Amino acid sequence: MKTVRHSEQTLRTALISKNPALVSQYEKFDAAERRLMNEAFRPASDLFGPITLHSQSDWITSHPEPPQDFEEFFNDPSRKTPSREKHRIYIQCIGSLGNTRIISEEYVKWLKGYCEAFFYGLTVKLLEPVPVSATRCAFRVNDSTENLQIHAVGHILHFLKKKKPEDAFCIVGVTMIDLYPRDSWNFVFGQASLTDGVGIFSFARYGGDFYSSSYKGKVKASQRQSSRDYSVFDNYYTPEVTSVLLLRSCKTLTHEIGHIFGLRHCQWLACLMQGSNHLEEADRRPLDLCPICLRKLQCAIGFNIVERYQALVRWIDDESADTPRVTPKRSHDGNVNLPKPVEAFKEWKEWIIKCLAIVQK
Ligand SMILES: [Zn+2]
Ligand SMILES: [Zn+2]
């Protein structure tokens, strides 16, 4: 295992910058907020540690990219920021997320609530779910894994772009069907167009069984229909909704929406914005941002750092509510909402509480 460890000075500059205007902007944070963010370069910090590399196939080794410090983020002319007119994040569910309608509805509400806490200050809206056929996307059965896959570029991004409401900062499609970006690729976790503020992300590989030989999403050759017959998606297998699946989905969604805000892959500290090449590496990523990425997101949205951490804790604590600010309600057919499976978030709750302790000291 290798560790990517930067000097205190490098991290301080990445966070605060040497540009006098950005230094004075940093000084406008209150002392407690700075105390938390300064943990980025405190060598003994137990909140923000260095990135660890476990194999040659880890992202940083296999995808060399220039790092992005706060100043580069701030000065990026292509970066999009929410505005008074465009301040909402829309989530479009494509196909079922769970094997009943209720599970599917609850799942996407949990994602919405989580995104509202994470991107604190923005409103997240759910669009009416659509079946896969509505997107007119191309699809295939993967030759080696034998699962159904949707072509992640072309029709599906075009569909989302057309559905993007006027007041949208971005629209993201979520699906439990696996994705592929082009014929020669095996799969992709997601695809986004940053200029259009549009993305599509799949959680298919985050179920407990995707990589097992007994995976039930395999489509036998005899069941394969024509390339335009979407009935193959009817009642297609979805993984059991577990706490780990929810955790992985929340991490993916916030990482990917983070890119739409102009945050590039983090190479400073262990951070949600680290790139990941495979599931084990994605699981190693923390749930939340390092201070350098937190400052970028704060700069884009303008939230209060304490309030954001509090909203994240409220979402974890509130095991039934769909959003941190709304009381539990009954679903359409009168059933009480399913309990939100948050066990996998509990260790992160402890971490957020430690951050809060520093910022509220
Ligand atoms: Zn990424
Ligand atoms: Zn980061």
Q: Ligand 1 centroid to 62 CA: how many Å?
A: 14
Q: Is residue 26 part of a domain?
A: no
Q: Is residue 40 part of a domain?
A: no
Predicted confidence at residue 328, as pLDDT, reads: 44
**Containing structural domain, residue 357:** 78-262+307-361
Q: Ligand 1 centroid to 283 CA: how many Å?
A: 13
Q: Is residue 126 part of a domain?
A: yes
Return the ligand number nearest the Cα of 276: 1
Q: Ligand 1 centroid to 285 CA: how many Å?
A: 11
- Residue among 242, 285, 209, 276 at smallest CA distance from 49: 285
Return the ligand number nearest the Cα of 255: 1
Number of structural domains (the chain) is 1
* Residue 320 backbone zone (phi > 0: left; psi -120 to 50: alpha; other: beta): alpha
- Tens-digit pLDDT string for the chain (361 aa): 889 899 999 999 999 999 999 999 999 999 999 999 999 999 899 999 999 888 888 888 888 889 999 999 999 999 999 999 999 999 999 999 998 889 999 999 999 999 999 999 999 999 999 999 999 999 999 988 899 999 998 899 999 999 999 999 999 999 999 999 999 999 998 888 999 999 999 999 998 889 888 899 998 766 666 667 898 898 899 999 999 999 999 999 999 999 999 999 999 999 999 998 888 888 999 999 999 999 999 999 999 999 999 999 999 998 655 544 444 455 455 555 688 999 999 999 999 999 999 998 7
Phi, psi dihedrals of residue 202, rounded to the nearest 5°: -115, 140
Q: Is residue 339 part of a domain?
A: yes
Q: Ligand 2 centroid to 9 CA: how many Å?
A: 16
Q: Is residue 2 part of a domain?
A: no
Q: Is residue 33 part of a domain?
A: no
Q: Is residue 355 part of a domain?
A: yes
Residue positions annotated with a catalytic role: 256
Whole-angstrom CA distances from 63 to 44, 173, 270 are 29, 25, 17
Predicted confidence at residue 182, as pLDDT, reads: 93
Return the ligand number nearest the Cα of 188: 1
Report the alpha-carbon distance of residue 16 to residue 220 in Å, rounded: 55
Predicted confidence at residue 326, as pLDDT, reads: 40
Q: Ligand 1 centroid to 286 CA: how many Å?
A: 13
Q: Is residue 229 part of a domain?
A: yes
